[in-house]
C-alpha cells in the first residue's frame, strides 16, 4: 500500500470495545518501533575523539548549537560503553547541590558539620562506575559554575568522593544561542577538553534510518604504552622549552577565556591525550581535535607541527647512506626532510656531502612526486662551488625539474663574486 493510498483511506471508526487505554497502548507500540535503532562500526572523528578523552579520564565539554545531537551522542555513548548515565542539568541546580548541604549532627563542635551530597552522587558511588553528564553548562550561573570546580577537577560532591570508574562529560551551547546564557568562567573552562560538535549529513541521514555509529573504547597496544608516554613527554616538554611563553597564556577576550587555552593544567591534559592517541594509533585528524581542544587552536597546531618535526629523519643519517634513504611518505614532511638535508650541506659544504644530497633527491624522485623536489633542488644547486663537478644524480634530475640551468647560474654568480673581491 502506497503513502497516497494510506492518505486516501478513510479513518476507521474504533471498535466499541476499544478503550482510550488500548489506543494509547497501540500508540506506544508505534513509538517503540520508532525508537528501535541499532549501531554499526563506522568512522566518526568526533565520536572517536570523545571516546578517547573519556577513556583517558579527562572531563570533556561538547560545544554545539541547540538540536545538533549532543545529548543523543552522550546517551548513545553510555549505551555503547555499558555505563549508567546520570544527567544533571546544571542550570536548574543551586550551588549547594554540588558543594553539599550542611547537616548538623548531635555535637557539631566535636563532629563538625558534614556536607551531605545529593542523591545522584550517592547513586553514582553505589554503582562504582558511570557517566556523569552535566548538561546546559553555559546556562549555569557563575555561583553554580564555581561550585562545579571541585566536581570536575577533584571529583568531590560535598564530602563524597566519586569513584575512579565515573567519567565526566558536559555539554553547552554558545552564549549567543543559549537560553539566558553565561560565558564559562576561565577556571572551569580550563578544566575541560573542548570538542566542537557539528552534524555530519551522512551520520544524521543513516541514523534517522535507524543505524547510528557505534562508540567503542580505543584499543591500546600494550607494547606501545611506554613508548607512547616517552613520545608525549618528549614532544610537550621539547615544545614548551622552545615556546615558553605558551606555558600559560590567558586569552584577552571573555569569550575565548571560556574555551580552550594553554596552562600547565591543560598542557598536562594534552600530554595525556597525546600518549593515549599514540598508543591507540588514532589518525592525525582525531589527535588534532583532542590537542586543540585541550590547549586551544594556535598552541595545539604548533604542538602538532613540532611533533611532525620530531618524526623527521636525521639529515646526517640520510647523507651517510643516500641510496637507502627512508623518507616520509606525507608530502609536507618529505619536503621538510629534503630541506633539512640541504640545510645540513649548507652548514658544512663539502663535495662529497653535496654529491650525497643529490643522491638523496634522486631517491625522493624514485619514491614520490617530483614537484616536491623543485625548492630543495634549487637551493642545493645554489650551494655548488666552481671547482665541484656536476654529479650524475644531478644530471638525472635536470630533465625533470630543470636544475642544470640553475647550477650554471650559481657558478656564474660565484665567479662574478670572486672577481669582485679581487678588485
Stretch 24-32: mean pLDDT, rounded? 91
Indicate whether 154 and 261 sit together in one domain: no
Closest CA to 326 of 315, 336, 318, 338: 318
Q: Identify whether 32 is part of a domain.
A: no
Stretch 195-217: mean pLDDT, rounded? 85
Domain total in the chain: 3
In degrees, rounded to 5, the angle at the alpha carbon of residue 12 between the alpha carbons of residues 10 and 17 is 170
Stretch 90-118: mean pLDDT, rounded? 73
In degrees, rounded to 5, the angle at the alpha carbon of residue 334 between the alpha carbons of residues 328 and 335 is 170
**What digits encode the pLDDT tens for the residues 253-273?**
888 899 999 999 999 999 999
Indicate whether 236 and 163 sit together in one domain: no
Mean pLDDT over each residue of the chain, to the nearest integer: 84
- Report DSSP state, residue 354: H
Lowest mean per-residue pLDDT among 6-15, 76-85, 251-260: 6-15
pTM here is 0.74
Distances (CA, A) of 408 to 289, 321, 329, 357: 48, 27, 31, 18
- Rounded Cα gap, residues 284 and 290, in angstroms: 10
pLDDT confidence of residue 68: 81
Distances (CA, A) of 186 to 143, 175, 192: 13, 15, 10
Highest mean pLDDT among 98-102, 338-342, 371-375: 338-342
DSSP for 135-192? E-GGGS-HHHHHHHHHHHHH-EETTEEPPTEEEEEEEE--GGGSTT--PPPHHHHTTS
Question: Which residue segment(s) compose the domain that 326 sits in?
Answer: 315-422
**What digits encode the pLDDT tens for the residues 316-332?**
889 998 888 888 888 87
- Rounded Cα gap, residues 199 and 407, in angstroms: 53
Q: Identify whether 390 is part of a domain.
A: yes
Put the strands of the sheet holding 60-63 in their side by side order.
85-89, 129-135, 165-172, 60-63, 193-196
CA within 13 Å, CB half, 30? 6
Indicate whether 413 and 386 sit together in one domain: yes
Indicate whether 287 and 348 sit together in one domain: no
Listed residues 251, 280, 310: the one ending a domain: 310
Indicate whether 167 and 86 sit together in one domain: yes
Indicate whether 93 and 137 sit together in one domain: yes
- Rounded Cα gap, residues 177 and 85, in angstroms: 26
Distances (CA, A) of 55 to 62, 214, 218: 16, 15, 7
- Rounded Cα gap, residues 354 and 215, in angstroms: 53
pLDDT confidence of residue 112: 63
Indicate whether 241 and 160 sit together in one domain: no
Q: Identify whether 145 is part of a domain.
A: yes
Listed residues 284, 310, 336: the one ending a domain: 310
Q: Identify whether 239 is part of a domain.
A: yes
Would you call 265 exposed, middle or buried from its count of C-beta atoms within 10 A (0-12, 13-18, 19+)? middle
Q: Identify whether 49 is part of a domain.
A: yes
Q: Which residue has the higher pLDDT, 272 or 310?
A: 272
Asked whether 296 and 260 are in contact (CB, 8 A), the reply is: yes
CATH for 65: 3.40.50.300
Listed residues 310, 335, 353: the one ending a domain: 310
Amino acid at each position: 500500500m502506497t503513502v497516497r493510498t494510506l492518505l486516501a483511506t478513510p479513518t476507521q471508526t474504533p471498535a466499541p470495545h476499544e478503550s482510550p487505554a488500548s489506543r494509547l497502548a497501540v500508540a506506544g507500540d508505534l513509538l517503540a518501533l520508532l525508537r528501535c535503532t541499532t549501531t554499526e562500526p563506522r568512522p566518526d572523528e568526533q565520536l572517536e575523539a570523545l571516546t578517547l578523552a573519556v577513556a583517558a579520564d579527562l572531563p570533556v565539554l561538547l560545544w554545539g548549537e541547540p538540536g545538533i545531537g549532543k545529548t543523543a551522542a552522550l546517551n548513545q555513548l553510555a549505551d555503547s560503553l555499558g555505563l549508567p548515565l546520570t544527567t544533571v542539568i546544571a542550570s536548574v541546580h543551586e550551588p549547594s547541590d554540588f558543594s553539599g548541604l550542611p547537616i548538623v549532627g548531635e555535637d557539631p563542635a566535636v563532629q563538625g558539620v558534614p556536607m551531605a551530597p545529593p542523591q545522584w552522587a550517592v547513586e553514582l558511588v553505589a554503582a562504582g562506575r558511570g557517566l556523569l553528564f552535566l548538561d546546559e553548562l553555559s546556562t549555569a550561573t557563575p555561583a553554580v559554575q564555581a561550585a562545579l570546580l571541585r566536581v570536575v577537577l577533584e571529583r568531590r560532591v560535598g564530602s563524597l568522593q566519586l569513584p575512579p570508574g565515573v567519567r565526566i562529560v558536559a555539554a553547552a551551547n554558545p552564549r549567543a544561542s543559549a537560553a539566558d546564557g553565561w560565558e564559562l568562567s576561565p577556571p572551569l573552562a580550563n578544566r575541560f577538553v573542548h570538542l566542537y560538535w557539528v552534524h555530519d549529513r551522512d551520520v544524521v541521514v543513516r541514523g534517522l534510518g535507524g543505524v547510528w555509529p557505534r562508540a567503542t573504547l580505543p584499543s591500546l597496544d600494550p607494547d606501545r604504552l611506554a613508548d607512547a608516554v616517552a613520545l608525549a613527554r618528549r614532544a610537550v616538554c621539547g615544545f614548551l622549552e622552545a615556546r615558553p611563553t605558551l606555558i600559560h597564556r590567558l586569552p584577552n577576550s571573555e569569550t575565548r577565556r571560556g574555551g580552550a587555552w594553554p596552562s600547565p593544567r591543560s598542557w598536562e591534559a594534552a600530554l595525556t591525550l597525546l600518549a593515549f592517541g599514540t598508543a591507540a594509533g588514532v589518525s592525525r585528524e582525531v589527535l588534532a581535535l583532542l590537542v586543540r581542544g585541550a590547549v586551544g587552536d594556535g598552541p595545539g597546531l604548533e604542538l602538532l607541527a613540532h611533533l611532525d618535526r620530531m618524526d623527521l629523519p636525521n639529515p646526517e643519517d640520510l647523507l651517510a647512506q643516500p641510496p637507502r634513504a627512508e623518507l616520509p611518505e606525507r608530502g609536507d614532511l618529505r619536503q621538510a626532510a629534503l630541506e633539512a638535508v640541504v640545510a645540513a650541506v649548507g652548514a658544512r659544504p663539502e663535495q662529497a656531502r653535496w654529491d650525497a644530497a643529490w643522491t638523496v633527491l634522486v631517491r625522493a624522485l624514485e619514491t614520490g612526486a617530483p614537484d616536491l623536489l623543485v625548492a630543495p633542488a634549487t637551493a642545493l644547486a645554489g650551494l655548488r662551488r666552481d671547482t665541484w663537478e656536476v654529479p650524475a644524480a644531478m644530471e638525472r634530475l635536470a630533465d625533470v625539474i630543470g636544475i642544470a640551468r640553475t647550477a650554471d647560474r650559481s657558478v656564474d654568480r660565484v665567479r662574478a663574486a670572486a672577481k669582485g673581491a679581487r678588485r
